[in-house]
Amino acid sequence: MSPRISFRQRKVNRIFCRIFRRRRNQHLESRVFQAKRRFRNLFTIRQKIILVVGVFATGSLIGFTNFSGFFNVAKVSVARSSLDLPLSEIELSIRDLALGKNIFSVDKALLQKAVLAMRGDISRVKIVKKLPREIQVEVFKFPIVAEVGVGNEKIYLNEKGFEVKGDFPDRDTLQLVLGEEVPLSEQEKDFQSSKQIISEDYLNFIREAVFYFESLTDLKILNTKYFPISREAHLKTEKNFNIWLDLNYDFREQLNKLVVAADELKIDTKKYEYIDLRIPGKIFYKPK
């Protein structure tokens, strides 16, 4: 190829490059112009006015809500309480955390925590914000699940094992008898001197063991004697014999031994003073 032809070829190439570059730039400019036109046509004049007014109104509402003082809490009230406490004491526990503050910024979890700290027998606290300026509180306590006979009196216990004062059960309860008298330590007392008669774990153990035994044997449990020092429970059946259980050992494994030895024990027909299931893998009993 001659140098002259090569020079012409290069010149032609440069001309074509300029043409293609100019067309590409024109195409890009056309696309940008179309995009701008579509954006301008996206909203009508009415829609633009509505948008501006909406933004202004939203900003004004936020400013009014947060800075006007119209929504500052002026009243704290107790709408419902199942505690034997004056309502004023419950209100006082959260008054400093809510009064004078914007109702939207009041932390409900913080108020609930303050009320729960008052008593050990409170199960749930509900906080309701009543616009524009009131906080309402509803307090619920643990239900009564057991009763303990002490002389001629009865002490009612809630799910946590605490003594309940000024209230009565609305359902059938576990009949509990104290087999040993144990002085309660300061750690076992609630803020309002409500005594914990039995630990929550042991109370749950006994309740579940009673239900499990009745489902296994179709016999009813009349009452349960609780021994806090030796950590055992004696379930008295309607056949007038006792089932001895270790409170530190799974009650299902203990009671299942009755099923394994059912042919030998025949608890439906034979009479016993007690059947001791406390030792793993063994059964001790005393016939009448």
pLDDT digits (tens, 9 = 90+) for 198-236: 999 999 999 999 999 999 998 999 999 999 999 999 999
- What does pTM read for this prediction? 0.64
189/271: higher pLDDT:
271
**pLDDT for res 6:** 62
**pLDDT for res 30:** 60
Give the pLDDT confidence of 17-74 residue by residue, as tens digits: 665 565 555 555 566 555 655 656 556 666 667 777 777 677 766 665 666 678 888 8
| SS3 assignment, position 219 | coil
Rounded CA-CA distance 104/98 in Å is 11
Confidence of residue 175 (pLDDT cuts 50, 70, 90): very high
**pLDDT for res 187:** 40
Pairing of strands 232-237, 221-227: antiparallel
H and E: helices and strands count for the chain: 7, 12
**pLDDT for res 174:** 92
Taking every pair of Cα atoms in the chain, the longest distance, rounded to a whole number of angstroms, is 131
**pLDDT for res 24:** 56
Q: What single string gives the DSSP state of each residue in 221-242?
A: EEEEEEETTTTEEEEEETTS-E
Rounded CA-CA distance 159/162 in Å is 8
Confidence of residue 185 (pLDDT cuts 50, 70, 90): very low
**pLDDT for res 150:** 75
Give the pLDDT confidence of 96-150 residue by residue, as tens digits: 888 888 888 899 999 999 988 887 778 889 999 998 889 999 988 888 999 998 7
Confidence of residue 186 (pLDDT cuts 50, 70, 90): very low
Rounded CA-CA distance 235/240 in Å is 10
Question: What radius of gyration do the chain's Cα atoms show?
Answer: 39
The residue assigned the tokens 């042919």 is: 263
Q: What is the mean pLDDT of the chain?
A: 81
Give the pLDDT confidence of 247-264 residue by residue, as tens digits: 999 999 999 999 999 888
Pairing of strands 232-237, 242-246: antiparallel
Confidence of residue 89 (pLDDT cuts 50, 70, 90): confident
Superfamily per CATH, domain 143-288: Cell division protein FtsQ/DivIB (3.40.50.11690)
Identify the CATH class of 75-141.
Answer: alpha beta
Confidence of residue 188 (pLDDT cuts 50, 70, 90): very low
β-partners of residue 141 are 122
88/177: higher pLDDT:
177
Q: What is the dihedral of CA 218, 220, 226, 232, to 10 degrees?
A: -20
**pLDDT for res 239:** 92
- Helix residue ranges per DSSP H, 127-225: 200-217
> Angle at CA 260, nearest 5°, toward 255 and 261?
95
127/89: higher pLDDT:
127
Q: What is the dihedral of CA 170, 173, 179, 184, to 10 degrees?
A: -40
Rounded CA-CA distance 88/118 in Å is 13
Distance of CA 58 to the CA centre of its chain: 36
Rounded CA-CA distance 220/233 in Å is 16
**pLDDT for res 256:** 95
